[in-house]
Chains A and B, each alone.
Chain A
Amino acid sequence: EVQLVESGGGLVTPGGSLRLSCAASGFTFNTYTMNWVRQAPGKGLEWVSSISPGSNYIYYADSMKGRFTISRDNAKNSLYLQMSSLRAEDTAVYYCARDYQAGVVAFDFWGQGTLVTVSS
């Protein structure tokens, strides 16, 4: 059974940093592109970042470039999102999501999400 379990969310002050983790199981992690998608309270979905299986291709949404860093450890079946210079508008539930398959960018499995609150 595919499982994605996020952790690391919490309350952080503006300008602060936080590192999110996503533990994957039930599939061959090192063969899938992985993503972070976020959802502000009461709002829609926003793609944040993606990373290819070998970390060769990394992409970010413009508003996260330079502040967020996606990474993965295939030996540990884990995905990470290092967030810095956090702003109030980064407050959201952050989901890790698996890419569907080669050639199709659809998110077929999602974690339960971890809430990040940026507030003083």
Chain B
Amino acid sequence: DIQMTQSPSSLSASVGDRVTITCQASQDISNYLNWYQQKPGKAPKLLMYDASNLETGVPSRFSGSGSGKHFTFTITGLQPEDIATYYCQQYDNLPYTFGQGTKLEIK
């Protein structure tokens, strides 16, 4: 199985900050990498697919980059409503696997 390692596991930032989360795959997954946001008690929401493509309706302050084994997810100008846990997910190989999540809190 492909292991997905996110860092950090948790993060505290202030409104307006630039926040970056990284996701590393245990092997090359090309750009087959998606990002999700999950708020407490809610289902996950797809934010980005294929590493850098913003899902329809998702604010442009969210962005993603990377390919191969190393990926980054960035929020430029953190908003209070961005408080959530963020997950990366690969689909290069079955089983599809998720990172362990990054919990984002407001300072």
Contact (Cβ within 8 A) B43 A113: yes
Q: Which of the listed residues A45, A50, A59 has the most CB atoms from chain B within 10 Å of its own CB?
A: A45
Tell which of B20-28, B74-82, B90-98 binds the partner: B90-98
**B52 interfacial by beta-carbon distance below 8 Å:** no
A62 interface contact, C-beta 8 A: yes
Specify which of B1, B44, B96 is in contact with A105 (CB 8 Å cutoff).
B96
In the bound assembly, the distance between CA atoms of A105 and B91 in angstroms comes to 6
Instruction: Decide yes or no whether A100 CB sits under 8 A from chain B.
Output: yes
Which interface class (under 10, 10 to 19, 20 to 34, 35 or more) fits A?
Answer: 20 to 34
Residues in chain B near residue A113, CB distance under 8 A? 43
- Cβ of A61 under 8 Å from chain B: yes
A contact face: mostly helix, strand, loop, or mixed: strand
Q: How far is the CA of A105 from the CA of B31 in the complex (A)?
A: 12
Residues of the A chain whose Cβ atoms lie less than 8 Å from the Cβ of B105: none
Interface size class of B (residues with CB under 8 A): 20 to 34
Q: Is the CB of A110 within 8 A of B43?
A: yes
Whole-angstrom CA separation of A59 from B91 in the bound complex: 13
Please report whether the interface of chain B is mostly helix, strand, loop or mixed according to DSSP. Answer: loop
Expressed in whole angstroms, the minimum distance between the Cβ of A49 and any Cβ of chain B is: 9
The distance from the CB of A58 to the nearest CB of chain B, in whole angstroms, is: 11
Task: Please determine whether B49 and A47 come into contact, CB atoms closer than 8 angstroms.
Answer: no
Smallest CB separation, A34 vs chain B (Å): 13
Q: Which of A29-53 contact B (CB under 8 A)?
A: 37, 44-47, 50
Q: Once the chains are docked, how many angstroms separate the CA of A95 from the CA of B43?
A: 8
Shortest beta-carbon contacts, A-B, top 8: A105-B91, A110-B43, A106-B49, A47-B96, A106-B34, A45-B98, A61-B95, A44-B101
Q: Measuring CB to CB, which residues of chain A are less than 8 angstroms from any residue of chain B? A: 37, 44-47, 50, 59-62, 95, 100, 104-108, 110-113
Q: List 13 A-B contacts (CB under 8 A).
A: A44-B98, A45-B89, A47-B89, A61-B95, A104-B50, A105-B96, A106-B46, A106-B49, A106-B89, A107-B46, A108-B46, A110-B43, A110-B44
